[in-house]
Amino acid sequence: MSVHTVICGLGACLPERVVTNADLAARLDTSDDWIRTRTGIHRRRVVEPGTSTGDLAVSAGLAAMESGGLEADFVLLATTTPDRPCPATAPEVAHRLGLEEVPAVDVAAVCSGFVYALALADALLKAGTCERPLVIGAEVYTSIIDPQDRDTAVIFGDGAGAVLLRRGRRGEPGAVRAVDLGSAGAGSDLITVAVGGSRHPGRDEEVPPEQRYFRMQGREVYRQAIHRMTVSARSVLDRAGWQPPTVRAFIGHQANQRILDSVSDRLGIAARYRYGNIAEVGNTAAASIPLALADAAADGRIRPGSPTVLTAFGGGLTWGSAAVTWPDAVPVYLPPKTPTACRGPQPADESVPAQRNPLPWRLPASIESPQVP
């Protein structure tokens, strides 16, 4: 019998601090209406000083393992904002999760990172390298965003989401049926943080803000994202043997509501089957798909086993999609762990009691999902 990868646990973590469009409007010479109509975002979450990507990742990982009822034996952390340039953040996250000596690695594919890590975990499990991989997407994007740049400061937020995987059967809810990955390095300058790597270390010289912070060429990124996500999603639908009208859940990387609607329109997926939480949490990059998965699962409207498409696009350029059946898992939420600065790693048993459905950032019933032209 062939081996299949099954999503069995869903975890989520968001900072408590909420930043609304109104909070940004005066400082950035913009308005709530301008932000909502162009992005679909109402508010986003931001970490408190001293809270790192690893802190969020630990909470999301603990939550996913509690949801799945299993202990992971491999950790893949998708992030663009690691705690330090060296070493990778994943090994310390694994240690803090109580997973001593398990393999742990960072995956750097920007906003496509979660799908890349999911595909890698699927391959590792099928190869027999592990049996219960934990895939975490975690970001503190506010650490690389220019607070005065209207084009990016209104879009990004901080957060972490995770899925726990196990061996299972093809017909089970949560089964990974197909994956598709791609890249186009010719477009590497479209989304960048120019300084901080070996090409431009930026050690002593005065570094201008446009090189120190995250920058993207929005118009071309918009065009590329729609094209790449559409083609990639079609590929996994073909590999899974599904027709678009059979899809019952579409979750794209929560970059921009207009991008998400354009992709799903081109695929022919009805609006009622599109799920996301961009209005409430903004673009959390590699964390956005697992956070949206947890949010939709908490809603309880999707039947386990339903055909589901995940798709993402990010810097690199990178993109990826996965066809999965909707998991039969109850999401677990944990608030961020206490910051670890100057205190060393914390053992997993110090976790705060988990909260279950509904997740605490759910869109209030009085607020409708944004209608973006």
List, by residue number, the catalytic residues: 111, 253, 283
One-letter identity of residue 337: K
The one-character DSSP state at 214 is -
Main-chain dihedrals φ then ψ at residue 105, nearest 5 degrees: -150, 145
C-alpha span between 2 and 16 (Å, rounded): 43
3-class DSSP assignment, residue 97: coil
C-alpha span between 352 and 65 (Å, rounded): 14
C-alpha span between 81 and 158 (Å, rounded): 10
Strand order in the sheet with 307-314: 176-183, 318-325, 307-314, 249-252
User: Other CB atoms closer than 10 Å to residue 170's CB: what's the count?
Assistant: 14
C-alpha span between 141 and 161 (Å, rounded): 14
User: Other CB atoms closer than 10 Å to residue 105's CB: what's the count?
Assistant: 15
C-alpha span between 136 and 173 (Å, rounded): 20
Sign of the dihedral through C-alpha 204, 209, 213, 218: negative
Closest by CA to 324, choosing from 105, 90, 10, is 10
Q: Quick one: the chain helix, strand, coil %, rounded to 5?
A: 35, 25, 40
DSSP code per residue over 234-248: HHHHHHHT--GGG--
